[in-house]
DNA sequence: CTATCATTTAGACGATTGTCGAATCAGGAG
DNA sequence: CTCCTGATTCGACAATCGTCTAAATGATAG
């Protein structure tokens, strides 16, 4: 699972018209992040110390039941935005930056140097602890 | 003179946890683009010669009725992603780059310095159809 | 006035979504 | 082994969404 296909999928959206398949694929990815809970989950995981967060830390921040949180995490996982790993009793999630960068490239201004996705990337993980 | 004030709404999503209001506002914006039709509309408008596209050009690219296209355009307009202007018989839409840049900044890699919104754009479009 | 382009409104329909409760799975602790 | 806790899966529910048809409205050209 979590097939990280680093495709050159996304020129900026203002560069050329998207084909139907491209648009459908990107819409699926965007639907995954177009939710307040999932957006917060993503940012909580991505900004957590060590680059990963335990589910037990996430659930407390919401007024939602555990199954609901699991549901949102699964959607993020299926979209290829996060990846989970079980260590002992707890499950830890971490961001898959390639997928997030796809979105960044899609909405990047035309003049941007697009530092990610197959280009002459100067640095992929600026913060690694 | 492109004296543009950069809308500094969003630190990258991996920088710090989003607050609930921030997440809700961004989710609303993301929902507007999380649809294949609207994604294609946005890219068709943004990549069209002159920076704007007539509705009459857009409708032909879809197997949808005119009210449905109008509906999607309205959602994009309400989200602040596009702006429409009537000239004679036809209505022309153009992208509002500040809003698109918000999304670009949200998913930008941490090391990337967001370039000025619409800054290096030399266009001042020659208004062609 | 008539014709055309685009939007709006209203209602309707199936599909998708977000949430919950209950059941289930996966590992420690005793 | 049996319990307990963390996390997921399953089944159901109301709410929202995308699309259509049909009709009405506004704006403009001829």
Give the separation between CA B86 and CA A101, rounded to whole angstroms.
36
Q: What is the mean pLDDT of residues A43-47?
A: 97
Residue numbers in A near B35 (CB within 8 A): 27
Is A74 (CB) below 7 Å from strand C?
no
**Total beta-carbon pairs less than 8 A apart between chain A and chain B:** 143
For domain A21-106, give its CATH number from 1.10.10.10, 3.40.190.10, 1.10.1470.10, 3.90.245.10: 1.10.10.10
pLDDT, residue A5, reads 40
Q: Which of A58 and B3 is assigned the larger pLDDT?
A: A58
B36-81 residue pLDDT tens: 999 999 999 999 999 999 999 999 999 999 999 999 999 999 999 9
Looking at domain B20-99, its CATH architecture is Orthogonal Bundle (1.10)
pLDDT value for B112: 60
Q: Which residue, among B39, B43, B28, has the nearest Cα to A34 in the 3D structure?
A: B28
Q: Per-residue pLDDT tens for B73-125? A: 999 999 999 999 999 999 999 999 999 999 999 999 876 654 444 434 333 33
* pLDDT score for B80: 98
Residue A93 — pLDDT band, cuts 50, 70, 90? Answer: very high
The predicted pLDDT at position A125 comes to 38
Query: How high is the mean pLDDT of chain B?
Result: 85
Q: What are the structure tokens assigned to B73, written together?
A: 């355009």
Distance CA A109, CA B118 (A): 7
Q: Where are the domains of chain A?
A: 21-106
Tell me, what's the pLDDT at B109? 87
SS3 category, B85? strand
Q: How far is B82 from chain A (nearest CA, A)?
A: 12
């Amino acid at each position: 699972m979590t097939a990280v296909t680093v495709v050159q999928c996304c020129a900026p959206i203002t560069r050329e018209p998207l084909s139907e398949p491209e648009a459908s694929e990107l819409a699926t990815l965007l639907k995954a992040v177009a939710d307040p809970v999932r957006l917060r989950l993503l940012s909580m995981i991505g900004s957590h110390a060590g680059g990963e967060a335990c589910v037990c830390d996430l659930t407390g921040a919401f007024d939602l039941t555990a199954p609901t949180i699991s549901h949102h995490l699964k959607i993020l996982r299926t979209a290829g935005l996060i990846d989970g790993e079980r260590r002992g009793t707890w499950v830890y999630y971490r961001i898959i930056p390639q997928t997030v960068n796809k979105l960044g490239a899609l909405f990047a201004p035309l003049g941007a140097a697009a530092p990610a996705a197959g280009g002459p990337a100067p640095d992929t993980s600026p913060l690694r602890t």
